[in-house]
Amino acid sequence: MPLNIIVLAKQVIDPEMPQSAFRVDRDARTVVTPPNIPPVVNGFDENAVEAALQIKDGQEASITVISMGKAFSLDVMKKPLSMGADELVLLQDDAFDNIVDSFSTAAVLAQAIRKQGDFDLIICGRQASDWDNAQVPLALAESLGVSCVTLGKKVTVDGGKVTVERIIPEGYEVIEAPLPALVTVSNELGQPRYPTLRGIMAATRKKPTIMSAQDLNIESLVASPQLELLDLFIPVSEKECEIVDGDTEEDAGRNLALKLREAKLI
């Protein structure tokens, strides 16, 4: 039987966009999507797709990519398909835009994964570049009742277990867990492969499966989130500059050293 691998991928605002293009709507408590800058697949999630493809390179496996959001750009979300994934499932509903807490997000994803049937391995990016919470994979593993190994830089599957080289401050440690399991990966896994022309052509012919909140039977969950976002704003950053001078360059340097010592910076 081929391995059934699920990869979670999120569409996000391009984190490399100019700071001047970043806008927040405080009344709606949301980040305004720049009209002239297309979204991207979260970078760590591309690492997750790469981890799944590396497993598929060595053995028979099927890769299903699942994403949750409100308004998807198919050109963006089909990138995992062009890289080599087999199926794409989009959880798309206006109601999902109101979910801001990780636990509700994980509950929606868990329900979608259960509807997919049995799975062997779920691979996620370590965090998303928009909120940087790194909470959804942990809550998802708890909801599904499977083991969770975080911060993987290498993932292999053999003999009914997953082996993960897990990043730690001093290097890495090797963790084993029985399948089914959930693993999060980081960019230390390596550069995700580029889509091939054949992969791009194949992806254009594939139609994603689109599921709404009603399809997942989770309207009550969406209507009663566990977390309420009270305010969203860009912090005000103030800078002050003081010119330290002297009669000579030596005096200026001495005065600067005294200022830094008074500020306990040296």
Read off the pLDDT of each residue in 52-77 and give the average, rounded to a whole number: 95
Return d(Cα 167, Cα 152) in angstroms, integer. Answer: 6
Q: What residues contact residue 255 under an 8 Å CB cut-off, 6+ apart?
A: 244, 245, 246
* % of the chain beyond a pLDDT of 70: 97
Identify which has the larger pLDDT, 101 or 206.
Answer: 206
The rounded distance, in Å, linking the Cα atoms of 74 and 53 is: 21
For the segment 181-208, the average pLDDT, to the nearest whole number, is: 95
3-223 has which fold? Answer: Rossmann fold (3.40.50)
Cβ contact 165:78 at 8 Å: no
Per residue in 132-182, pLDDT tens? 889 999 999 999 999 999 999 999 999 899 999 999 999 999 999 999 999
Phi then psi for residue 4, to 5 deg, are: -105, 105
As annotated, the residues of the chain forming the CATH 3.40.50.620 domain(s) are 3-223
pLDDT average, residue stretch 36-54: 96
- pLDDT, one tens digit per residue, over 84-101 is 999 999 999 988 876 778
Per-residue model confidence as pLDDT tens digits over 171-182: 999 999 999 999
Residue tagged 């009603």 (tokens): 214
pLDDT of 28 reads 84
Nearest to 54 by CA among 209, 204, 177, 162: 162
Residue 234, pLDDT score: 87
Question: Among candidates 185, 148, 144, which has minimal Cα distance to 53?
Answer: 185
